[in-house]
Structure formats: structure tokens, C-alpha cells
Amino acid sequence: MPNNTILFILAALLFSAPAVAKESAADNYGTYCVQCHGLKGNGNGINVRDMEVQPRDHTDAKAMSARSDETLFKVVKEGGPSIDKSILMPPWGDTFSDEEIRDLVQHLRMLCKCKFGS
């Protein structure tokens, strides 16, 4: 097979391959958030015993309803100090895209079964 044909086939395969699916918000939460916020999002993760400040309970509808989507987005992106909360909440803006952070905010709304528009 001539080299040009092989290159054409490789290029066709490369451009026709489906895009890699991004992680779901639930998967990202499970990977990055449960250590502190817990498997159920109730603030009872495995790191709690070593933390001076209790992580937010994402299942508490009353507390979570008091936070706008914009505030939740900011704290995920920029960390706890960005909204005058714990320095133990790290910024995730270098890890997640803005779209992934918005998806995480919606996942938090699902955990607390509350809705709030930004």
C-alpha cells in the first residue's frame, strides 16, 4: 500500500473517531468531592476527622437554597476564600472547565433537591 494511502486512511480514522466523552458531574463529584463532602454529599467524607471546619452538607436543602448558582460556581472555581469560607475548600478552576463547573452546580442542586437560578 503506498504511503499516501496509509496517511489518508489514518487521517480519515482520526477525524471520524468520536470525541472522548467528558466526565459527568456525578463522576467528577465522586472523584474530587466525596473525600470531604461524603459519598452522599452530606459533609461526612473520610477527610472530616482531620478537618477543623466541617465541609458543607450538600444534601441540606435549606442551606443550599440560600446559595445562588453564581456563588456555588465561584466557590468551586476559586475555592472557599473567594466567598469568605474555609481555606480547606480548594479552587478547582484549573481542573474543571466552566461548563463542568456549571454541571457540578446542577449536580449539587440535585443532591439537595432544591432549585435556584443564578
| Residue 17 in this model has a pLDDT that exceeds 50 | no
Residue 23 has a pLDDT of 85
Q: Considering the domain boundaries, does residue 117 fall inside one?
A: no
Query: Can you tell me the mean pLDDT for 12-17?
Result: 47
Query: Can you tell me the mean pLDDT for 24-46?
Result: 96
Q: Considering the domain boundaries, does residue 6 fall inside one?
A: no
* CATH code at position 31: 1.10.760.10
Q: Considering the domain boundaries, does residue 2 fall inside one?
A: no
| Residue 104 in this model has a pLDDT that exceeds 60 | yes
Q: Considering the domain boundaries, does residue 26 fall inside one?
A: yes
Domain assignment of residue 107, given as a range: 19-112
Q: Considering the domain boundaries, does residue 5 fall inside one?
A: no
pLDDT, tens only, 56-70: 999 999 999 999 999
pLDDT band at 5 (very low <50, low <70, confident <90, very high): low
Query: What is the per-residue DSSP string for 11-66?
Result: HHHHHHSPPPPPPPHHHHHHHHTHHHH-TTSSS--TTGGG-SSPPP-TT-HHHHHT
Q: Considering the domain boundaries, does residue 12 fall inside one?
A: no
Q: Considering the domain boundaries, does residue 7 fall inside one?
A: no
CB atoms within 10 A of CB 1: 6
Q: Considering the domain boundaries, does residue 25 fall inside one?
A: yes
Residue 114 has a pLDDT of 77
Number of domains, the chain:
1
